[in-house]
Amino acid sequence: MAQNKGAENGRFSFTRTGSMGRQGLPKIQTHHEATSEVCHDDSGTPMKAKTIDELHSLQKKKSSQPTTPINGTQGAFAAISEEDRQKQQLQSISASLASLTRETGPKVVKGDPATKSDGQKATHVEHHLYDASLFGVSDSALKFTHILYNLSPAELYEQAIKYEKGSFITATGALATLSGAKTGRSPRDKRVVKDEETENELWWGKGAPNIEMDEHTFLVNRERAVDYLNSLDKVYVNDQFLNWDPEHRIKVRIVSARAYHSLFMHNMCIRPTPEELLEFGTPDFTIYNAGQFPCNRYTHYMTSSTSVDLNLSRREMVILGTQYAGEMKKGLFSVMHYLMPKRQILSLHSGCNMGKDGDVALFFGLSGTGKTTLSTDHNRYLIGDDEHCWSNNGVSNIEGGCYAKCIDLSKDKEPDIWNAIKFGTVVENVVFDEYTREVDYSEKSVTENTRAAYPIEYIPNAKIPCVGPHPKNVILLACDAFGVLPPVSKLSLAQTMYHFISGYTALVAGTEDGIKEPQATFSACFGAAFIMMHPTRYAAMLSEKMQKHGATGWLVNTGWSAGRYGTGNRIKLAYTRKIIDAIHSGTLLNASYTKTEVFGLEIPTEIEGVPSEILDPTNTWSDKKAYKDTLLQLGGLFKKNFEVFLNHKIGRTTSSQRKFLQRVQIFNEMKDEPTYVMCND
């Protein structure tokens, strides 16, 4: 019998005679030959661990843990022991969680209680400013509160999946979570403390987003939130930054009860390096997110079990009764709308990108206007998609991430957002296949407001750091469902301020007897829900900066042409992109212009790649009378909306605000035709 080559090594051979294997195959005959060699030996040195716990401890390599400095050292990098540094960090967090009526801070310890073995000693800090014996002591003073500080995304994944029902890993590696009963912001439950500092500085009254509360009520809610957080076995603490401009960045601390919230803010705020955390020190602003616990509805000013409270004097925010993570993001944006103008820095609800030659463009627009789509351009660098500051240094992104809508998301339409939904990204309230974990972005079973939060570096053409020179173009986007605004208009400085304050777009209101009518929507400064001061304050600052740095204002209609919604056609995205390209290149500045009726808008007569006949709405409407009537109707809505700003009494006005208001007083003297003569320089 002939043996195969393997038999020469004394391992096995196939035989063609004798017993046969199953199905007539030759049976394998093994050969056991004495040998001193062991082939393919993959054994190694035996583990030194004596127990499973010791074995698991070997799995994790020592890491430089994020820490904060100890007070009294000579510089942030002074040589101190790790134990002292940890104590200083925990003391700072204990002070943040201090009660104002009983013991001033909990006993805090670092690490997850689930990973502590029985005999393990934990470093802790007991932080008291007052003699606790003089006050009532709660049961929470008898326990440790475990602090999970600046955890990595991988650690937060583990926490969420272990302890938070409704947390799953999707097919692309993102963390899918649920925000509970609230799947959007609760603007009617947002309150701002009205005190001596804010009474004359903030925008109060009709049309204002700020609903007042007194400091006592805020402290009641703060105590409720702190007591809840202290009652938990563990809380998550993030120390991070806002504003990529290092000269004007803000230090924020977020204390939350959910890993989902911690990961969300890890993505949305600017992530400090370990070296920057050594110098972090005391935060400039603190959020207490006790959203799983309701407010007391019998407390003064409360209208539901939800309350989102800002105290600008104390630099604190309290969240009760809502787990929607967007409350933290937009709450901090409101804070920046207060802090930055006090430094003569303009805060803006806008997208921002930069060309390869350094030309920066700002994009303003309400939902559905195409702000995200048009500011995302593969030929330009993305500075940010939502929140920015314009200082003497130029423009800078406030955030460290993006919060994108996911409804009907597709790879073809939004490839950058699609590809950014991967490990580290939080996707809220989405529906996915229970087996494959593939997300169905068209599904609205939980909510239509599905969202994805991811670090901005997940966008391939993001500019890191997210800063740029002074803007060259300011683009105001409106989806005009009335169909009377031109596809693009060049604005004077005063017109830019006027349309900036108006913040116009139009939505389809719904169906009544089979007829759909557009509904005008106005949101001051294209973000009325988040601004803190009167809109003229921001408009005046915008005017000054545009004038100083030579920026040009543009009004771009991404809505309808040749008729209103239902009879006309939506302006093609390809045409709008050609318009935006002409703005970026500067060719539109040199075009020939004509002026429209009523609004007094300058419209170009020709743009490469765009049919000339659609540039002037009068050319596209077959019914000229209907066009004129609709134009006057929209102008009247603008006029009515603007009256609230003219009649508002401002406590403290800047010189630029007074100049602006004097310029628009002629608006009150206008008759029936709502022209924009008052907006001309």
349 a catalytic residue: yes
Q: Are residues 437 and 519 in the same domain?
A: no
**Do both 271 and 193 map to the same domain?**
yes
What's the pLDDT tens digit per position in 66-103? 655 444 444 444 556 777 777 888 888 988 998 887 76
Q: Is residue 2 part of a domain?
A: no
167 & 294 share domain: yes
Q: Is 266 a catalytic residue?
A: no
The answer to whether residue 675 scores a pLDDT higher than 70 is no
Task: Check whether 200 has a pLDDT greater than 90.
Answer: yes
In a domain, residue 354? The reply is no
* Known active-site residue 545: no
Asked if residue 556 and residue 440 are part of one domain, the reply reads no
Among candidates 543, 547, 570, which has minimal Cα distance to 559?
570
Cα–Cα distance measured from residue 65 to residue 55, given in angstroms and rounded to the nearest whole number? 22
Specify the CATH number for the domain of residue 548. Answer: 3.90.228.20
Other CB atoms within a 10 A radius of the CB of residue 37 amount to 5
pLDDT at 215: 96
316/508: higher pLDDT? 316
Question: Annotated catalytic residue: which of 386, 416, 470, 505?
Answer: 386
* Least confident segment among 168-182, 371-385, 636-650: 636-650
Residues 444, 446, 450, 452, CA torsion sign: negative
Asked whether residue 325 falls in the same domain as residue 433, the answer is yes
Is 137 within a domain? no
Write the single-letter amino acid at 342.
K
For the chain, the domain total comes to: 2
């630029």: which residue's tokens?
Answer: 656
Q: What is the 3-state secondary structure (H, E, C) of 308-343?
A: EEEECCCCEEEEECCCCCHHHHHHHHHHHHHHCHHH
Structural domain for 284, as ranges: 147-345+391-458
Calpha distance 534→524 (Å, rounded) = 9
Residue 292 has pLDDT above 80, yes or no: yes
Residue 244 lies in a domain: yes
Give the rounded distance of the alpha carbon of 263 from its chain centre.
12
Q: Round to whole Å and give the CA distance between 270 and 463.
A: 14
Report the share of the chain in percent with pLDDT over 90: 67
What does the buried/exposed string (b/e) look like for 160-191 if buried means 16 or more CB atoms within 10 Å of the residue's CB?
A: beeebeebbebebebbbbbbeebbebbeebbb
Query: 310 pairs with which residues across the strands?
Result: 192, 317
Residue 542: pLDDT above 80? yes
- For 601-636, what is each residue's pLDDT tens digit? 999 999 999 999 999 999 999 999 999 999 999 999
Whether 185 is a known active-site residue: answer yes
pLDDT band at 499 (very low <50, low <70, confident <90, very high): very high
Q: What is the pLDDT of residue 305?
A: 93
In a domain, 73, yes or no: no
Same domain, 547 and 402: no
Q: Which of 385, 366, 360, 389 is nearest to 375 (CA)?
A: 385
Query: Per residue in 99-155, pLDDT tens?
Result: 887 766 788 888 898 876 444 445 555 544 334 444 456 666 678 899 999 999 999
pLDDT digit string (tens) for 8-20?
Answer: 444 444 455 555 5
Catalytic residue among 367, 585, 594, 612: 367
The active-site residue, picked from 127, 337, 451, 534, is 451
Q: Which of 458, 478, 497 is the last residue of a domain?
A: 458
Between CA 501 and CA 645 the distance in angstroms is: 9
State the residue for tokens 């001061």: 533
Residue 184 has what pLDDT? 93
Structural domain contains residue 377: no
Check residue 661 and give its pLDDT.
Answer: 56
Which of 241-245, 277-281, 334-338, 455-459 shows the lowest mean pLDDT across its residues? 277-281
Assign 23 a pLDDT band (cuts: 50, 70, 90): low
Q: Does residue 463 belong to any structural domain of this protein?
A: no
pLDDT at 60 over 80: no
| Residue finishing a domain among 458, 489, 510 | 458
The count of C-alpha atoms lying within 13 angstroms of the C-alpha of 376, restricted to the half-sphere facing its C-beta, is 17
Q: How far apart are CA 468 and CA 360, in angstroms?
A: 7
User: What is the predicted pLDDT for the residue at 22?
Assistant: 57
* CA–CA gap between residue 399 and residue 462 (Å, rounded): 13
pLDDT in tens, 398-442: 999 999 999 999 999 889 999 999 999 999 999 999 999 999 999
Query: Comparing 139-148, 219-228, 326-335, 355-364, which segment has the lowest mean pLDDT?
Result: 139-148
Annotated active-site residue 19? The verdict is no
Q: What value does the mean pLDDT take over residues 346-371?
A: 95
The catalytically annotated residue of 330, 337, 463, 584 is 330
334 shares its domain with 197: yes
Distance from chain centroid for Cα 398: 9
Q: Which of 124, 191, 337, 349 is catalytic?
A: 349
Same domain membership, residue 430 and residue 489:
no
The reply to whether 334 belongs to the active site is: no
Smallest Cα–Cα separation from 243: which of 384, 391, 351, 396?
A: 396
Choosing from 85, 124, 329, 371, the catalytic residue is 371
pLDDT tens digits for 26-56? 665 555 555 555 555 566 667 677 787 777 7
Q: What is the b/e burial string over 437-448, where b = at least 16 CB atoms within 10 angstroms of the residue's CB?
A: eebebeeeeebe
Residues 426 and 560 in one domain: no
The mean-pLDDT minimum among 95-109, 287-301, 318-332 falls in 95-109
- The residue among 58 and 237 whose pLDDT is bigger is 237
Same domain as 330, residue 301: yes
Same-domain status, 400 and 524 = no
pLDDT of residue 239: 97
Domain boundary, last residue among 434, 458, 482: 458
Q: What is the domain-level CATH number for residue 441?
A: 3.40.449.10
Annotated catalytic, 451? yes
pLDDT of 513 reads 41
* % the chain with pLDDT above 70: 79
Same structural domain for residues 487 and 602?
yes
Angle (nearest 5°) at CA 341 between 282 and 255: 30
Least-confidence region, from 200-209, 293-302, 639-648: 639-648
With 0-12 / 13-18 / 19 or more C-beta atoms within 10 angstroms meaning exposed / middle / buried, residue 207 is middle
Q: Which of 372, 425, 521, 630 is catalytic?
A: 372
Ranges of H-type helices in 116-234: 153-163, 215-231
Q: Is 488 part of any domain?
A: yes
DSSP 99-131: -SSS-SS-EEEES-GGG--TT----EEE--SS-
Distance of CA 622 to the CA centre of its chain: 44
Give the active site residue among 107, 124, 127, 185. 185
pLDDT of residue 354 exceeding 50, the answer is: yes
- The average confidence (pLDDT) of the chain is 85
Give 565-583 pLDDT, tens digit per residue: 989 999 999 999 999 999 9
Q: What is the pLDDT of residue 114?
A: 85
